[in-house]
Amino acid sequence: MALKTTNGGPAGPNRRAFLSGAAALAGLAVTAPKAFARASDRVEGLLAQMTLEEKAGQLSVFADMIRPPIGDMNPLVNIRNAQTLTAEVKAGRIGALFNGVGAQAARDTQKAAIEGSRLKIPLLFAADVIHGFRTVFPIPLAEAASFDPHLAERTARATALEATAAGLHWTFAPMVDVARDQRWGRVAEGSGEDVFLGEVLAAARVRGFQGKDLKADDSMLATPKHFAAYGAVTAGLEYNSVELSDATLREVHLPPFQAAFAAGALMTMSAFNDVNGIPATANKMLLTDILRGEWGFKGVVISDYTADQELVAHGFAADDRDAARLAILAGVDMSMQSGLYIRYLPELVSSGAVPMAVVDASVRRVLALKEAIGLFDNPYRSLDPQAEAQRTATPAMRALSRESGARSIVLLKNDRALLPLPRAGKRLALIGPFADDRDNVLGAWGGFFADRRLSVDLATGLRAQMADPNSLIVERGCEVETTIAGGFERAVAAAQAADIVLLAVGESQDMTGEAKSRTDIRIPPVQMRLAEAIAATGKPIIVLLRHGRAIQLEGVVRDAPAILATWFLGSEMGNAVADVVFGAVNPSGKLPVSFPIDSGQEPFFYNGRTTGRPAPSDPNGQEYKARWRSIRNDALYPFGFGLSYTRFDVTDMKLSTQRLAWNDTLHVTAKVKNSGNLHGDHVVQLYIRDRVASRTRPVRELKGFQRVSLAPGAEREVRFELKRQHLMFVGDNDYWIAEPGVFDVWISNSSVDGLVASFELLPVG
């Protein structure tokens, strides 16, 4: 597929070679280790010996009930007991087990596969290890607020160290779905609403999980998911249908996947949803034509939990047999939990409904994957009980959890410089359902394997940094969605006895994540009534938001003089929040999602397109424009926004040229100065807009960001590069094109402000 331009000239490398964001200038195509370039003699030899049932077994993945997980978010489907599971391992009817942990039990199970099965093919051990294992780090959405790919890589590396020590080879992460509707619960699991940020963090997390050597004992296979467009489910409803154009699919929802593959990911997971009427798990266009054909992906595709069987409920497959046929033909190599492949593939091949070559190709990829991570030479890698004891919940892990938590917090408001608070001399009241709560610090998926004894609540974290811990009064006032007898009265009394109130309100852990879609993303009513009662005391309020998405703020919470977005920060949450509250850490987080004025604005995202009737700048301006009857379609707090305890000034923006030649580079520079009195970090952001194009373009698009760390009074120049490849978009016939014309470029502190200049991309030649 060649790229075209409006003037007929060549557009340079096509989408297979270029990424619009994270790897745009590296010319990276999807890569794979040598094991995937050509199957080894060992793999081909095994394949030649395998029966149809053994082949289907390598493509079948089941819940690990030999070392059963503490809990499971999915329905209990097709569960086998430990004895039955071990027998099927020995019979060669299972290729991988998931969501069981423990090095010794995994070692025993692997021994059953190596010594008990005919061909001695080792098992893969997988799990949903999303943002930490025993030690939990911030939810991915919170960590995205750091705008720091190095931090994301470090936390993923730490997660892999712990998880591989507990007998795992493979994680079902990172989730790289771009999510533009905050009603969707799984917003918490991704990097937010922006494509570029999603690309950068997807690549970082893959590098972190997998490390530098796939055969290393602490390397954990990454699985970017969910392929594809799961973040675009209609109305933010979990598992819902997706309707979008091919251009939006390719511009918004596919790039983070390609960034992950360019970073070395060897697996991906099909999505639950359909895309324009074709379920992703039976979508040949996605799984074969684009993924393998256009991109050259050589790795393994696994279904999500029973997603192949769910083709029947979609109304796309006639029955389970038909579902297995459709999934394997579309390009799903491994079936998770449904058991459809082991049950139906042998007969489907024997009857001619599925070609043997299709099954062989999938088995070859699975065996090559096991070879690539060293399992044939060392089947007991990552199955060392001694390592499990040594690499779990170490002081370094806890320190990283605390650091990443503090750097994920976003300061939304700080009137009259109420924050940071002094450690002594003030009597504080910590009020709200999350005040001393330890059950809602980890976030969605965080508690699956966590050591909950490590969880630090807000009260504990705050007291640890106060000169007099007794000067903190703690009252919940209410639960997340229900009252407590006498709770309001005790909370009001606590506020009256204090100088300043810390109000800990928001969502519970069970209100975010998979299957937690919300129609109304406001703080629950009982908490708002508590907030109003506290505000009536007249005491200054600092809001500590607990949330796994952007939420609608209203009333006294919205109007409080200080607001911190604290998300779900993991094991060290209480200490991380205290670090920011008392100024040990100067907040530097920026929002990866836009906070709407009202829930009814969703889906809402900063990089939408303008209309033929843009909203007037005057909120009281004329009607018959793109505006709501009661509010403008603006954000309360926009993407990229976040304050600091110091002040940063961005000045002196310069372009190296205002006429960018087709194959040249534009340098954009500016000066950033810390004009305040405290050391701090700032995230400087680069946005563009294509003024006139053959398809209407977003009002802004993030194309780069830099973190700068400056002492008071210090100044530094930031430099960005723009090339034609950064200006490309999907035009007619799904070609990636760049068009000559005028572009605006901003260097800014968020998606709605900044210094602006313009340049012209010149035609080729």
**pLDDT tens digits, 507-563:** 999 999 999 999 999 999 999 999 999 999 999 999 999 999 999 999 999 999 999
Q: What pLDDT is attached to residue 457?
A: 98
Q: What pLDDT is attached to residue 350?
A: 98
Determine the average pLDDT of the residues in 466-480: 98
Nearest one of 687, 682, 746, 757 to 715, comparing CA atoms = 682
**pLDDT tens digits, 312-323:** 999 999 999 999
Q: What pLDDT is attached to residue 618?
A: 79
Whether 13 has a pLDDT exceeding 60, the answer reads: no
**pLDDT tens digits, 108-130:** 999 999 999 999 999 999 999 99
Measured distance between the N- and C-terminal CA atoms of the chain, rounded to whole angstroms: 22
Q: What pLDDT is attached to residue 619?
A: 73
Whether 140 has a pLDDT exceeding 70, the answer reads: yes
Determine the average pLDDT of the residues in 192-210: 98
- Any residues with CB less than 8 A from the CB of 419 and at least 6 apart, and which? 411, 542, 562, 564, 580, 581, 583, 645
- Any residues with CB less than 8 A from the CB of 688 and at least 6 apart, and which? 700, 701, 703, 722, 726, 727, 743, 744, 745, 746
**Are residues 462 and 581 in contact, defined by beta-carbon separation less than 8 angstroms?**
yes
Confidence of residue 1 (pLDDT cuts 50, 70, 90): very low
Q: What pLDDT is attached to residue 490?
A: 98
Cα 535 to chain centroid, rounded: 35
Confidence of residue 27 (pLDDT cuts 50, 70, 90): very low
**pLDDT tens digits, 357-414:** 999 999 999 999 999 999 999 999 999 999 998 999 999 999 999 999 999 999 999 9
Q: What pLDDT is attached to residue 15?
A: 28
Q: Is 304 a catalytic residue?
A: yes
CA–CA gap between residue 653 and residue 658 (Å, rounded): 13
Confidence of residue 3 (pLDDT cuts 50, 70, 90): very low
Which domains does the chain show, CATH number per domain?
398-601 (3.40.50.1700), 648-761 (2.60.40.10)
Q: What are phi and psi of 558, to 5 degrees?
A: -60, -35
DSSP letter string, 9-66: -B--S-TTT--SSTTGGGTPPP---HHHHS--HHHHHHHHH--HHHHHHHTEEEE--S
| Helix (H) or strand (E) segment spanning residue 428 | strand 428-431
* More confident position, 127 or 615: 127
**Distances 129 to 125, 221, 502 between C-alpha atoms, Å:** 12, 11, 33
Determine the average pLDDT of the residues in 684-689: 98
Determine the average pLDDT of the residues in 82-96: 95
- Among residues 64, 274, 304, 690, which one is catalytic? 304
**pLDDT tens digits, 626-659:** 888 888 889 999 999 999 999 999 999 999 999 9
Q: What pLDDT is attached to residue 316?
A: 98
Q: Report the percentage of the chain scoring pLDDT > 90.
A: 89
**pLDDT tens digits, 700-735:** 999 999 999 999 999 999 999 999 999 999 998 888
Confidence of residue 447 (pLDDT cuts 50, 70, 90): confident
Whether 30 has a pLDDT exceeding 80, the answer reads: no
pTM for this predicted structure: 0.95
| Helix (H) or strand (E) segment spanning residue 741 | strand 741-748
CA–CA gap between residue 622 and residue 690 (Å, rounded): 27
Q: What pLDDT is attached to residue 31?
A: 54
Whether 73 has a pLDDT exceeding 60, the answer reads: no
Determine the average pLDDT of the residues in 176-200: 98
Q: What are phi and psi of 532, to 5 degrees?
A: -65, -40
Q: What pLDDT is attached to residue 36?
A: 67
